Amino acid sequence: MTDRWDNLKREMKEAARELGIDAIGVASAEPFTTLKQRLIRHRELGRESGFEEKDLDKRTDPSLLFDKPQSIIAIAVAHPSKLPDPPKSEPGARRGIMARTSWGQDYHSVLRNRLQRLEEWLRERVPDLRAESMVDTGELSDRAVAERAGIGWSAKNCAIISPELGSWIYLGEMITNLPLPPDEPVTEGCGSCNKCIDACPTGALVGPGELDARKCVSFLTQTKEMLSDEFMRKIGNRLYGCDTCQIVCPANKGKNWTQHPELQPDPELAKPLLTPLLTIGNREFKERFGGTSGAWRGKKPIQRNAVIALGNFKDPSAVPDLIGVLENDTRPVLRGTAAWALGRIGGEQAEKALHEAKGKEEDKEALDAIEFALNMLRGGMKEEEVR
């Protein structure tokens, strides 16, 4: 009997590439008890992003999600890290950057497709298979499952790093009723390296593998509110997500995965021009960005981040477009952020528009931002952070 499951697992590993899966492993379906303690502490310290599943029992006990689970199959699909022919960001034509997780087709649909193919493959061999798959939005911690299944180590930047693939991987899993023998976790680790912690722009990596998600630029780019001056400066020209702690990682050196055509980026979407984003309509936004994972929070955060990026570039040619946002956008957060950006760029035209807006603005937060911007113009500016 054991042989049967050993053999099935071996065949499954051999078939993985054909199924479009780059790494596959098996974890036991036992409760994740140390993870639970960790998640409780994480919550108590107020370090959650708010995007996680709230029920910590469901997050850590597969038997609450599935009747008598016997194993969890973890999969990883590798993605590109380099843009082919990246368009130039130039004065008068500045561009923002979408994190690599938003390049190509939305990874949720790609991984669901792989899990579906895997499920069909398994069912052909085990007709009474029961299976439940999840990617990102499920209850389980994808990283904890991947770690237990030997896909990679849990790194100081929080990522799961595969010894072969690096951290440029998406993760997903399938809870099953198949008693497949579990894999061993990998033995590699970060060692004495600390590069990601040193490079994190906001100090969000408060310790090795410990993230204060509320400070993480990736999280900040996905919020819809007005951000603080400090955070706006640190966002630089990021429109969605942040890759800094992975870019600096030696384990990712030279790794760029191009085997999945649907994950290949369109450079114009991965590094879009900023000014057209300021006035993009709902329909056009959906047509252009709707198929990417970065669109999940709608167009508002991306537009706000485009305004921030223009402010950080300090390119005077953006002033008329930003004045357009300050005067005409119906959303106070956008008007307030445009005021900040104009304060950052400065110049007579910006200052005049800010004074005019001050007399007309009725929203308290936007008005505060206008006053802050006018103060900024009086007081000079600090270092910027744009790439």
Contacts of 66 (CB under 8 A, 6+ apart): 29, 130, 132, 175, 177
Residue 23, C-beta contacts closer than 8 angstroms, at least 6 positions apart: 16, 75, 76, 78, 151, 152, 162, 164, 165, 169
| CA pair distance 346, 295, nearest whole angstrom | 31
Query: How far apart are the C-alpha atoms of 240 and 304, rounded to whole Å?
Result: 11
Residue 32 to residue 163: CA distance in whole angstroms? 23
Closest to 255 (Cα-Cα) out of 241, 243, 267: 243
Residues 144-203 that bind ligand SF4 (CB under 6 A): 155-157, 190, 193-196, 200-202
If one asks whether residue 249 binds ligand SF4 (CB under 6 A), the answer comes out as yes
Judged by beta carbon distances under 5 to 8 A according to partner kind, the member of ligand B12, ligand SF4, none in contact with residue 350 is none
Residue 193, binding choice from ligand B12, ligand SF4, none, Cβ under 5 to 8 Å by partner class: ligand SF4
> Which spans of this chain sit near ligand B12 (rule: CB under 6 A)?
34-35, 38-39, 42, 49, 51-52, 99, 101, 135-136, 138, 141-144, 147, 154, 157-160, 167, 169-172, 208-211, 213, 216, 218-219, 222, 241-243, 245
Give me the least distance between CB of 34 and ligand B12, in Å please: 5
Task: Write out the binding residues for [4Fe-4S] cluster.
Answer: 190, 193, 196, 200, 216, 242, 245, 249
- Exposure of 150 in the CB half-sphere (CA atoms within 13 A): 14
Q: Which one of ligand B12, ligand SF4, none interacts with residue 52, CB within 5 to 8 A by kind?
A: ligand B12
Binding residues for tRNA, as ranges, are: 222, 224, 282-283, 297, 299-300
Provide, rounded to whole angstroms, the least separation between the CB of residue 165 and ligand B12.
9
CB contact at 8 A, 82 and 39: no
Q: Hey, what amino acid is at 176?
A: T
Measured in whole angstroms, the distance separating CA 54 from the mean position of its chain's CA atoms is 19
Distance separating alpha carbons of residues 131 and 115, to the nearest angstrom: 10
Q: Which does 71 bind (CB under 5 to 8 A by kind): ligand SF4, ligand B12, none?
A: none
Binding region for cob(II)alamin: 59, 136, 141-143, 154, 157, 160, 171, 218, 242-243
* Binding footprint of ligand SF4 on the chain (CB under 6 A): 155-157, 190, 193-196, 200-202, 204-205, 211, 216-218, 242, 244-245, 248-251
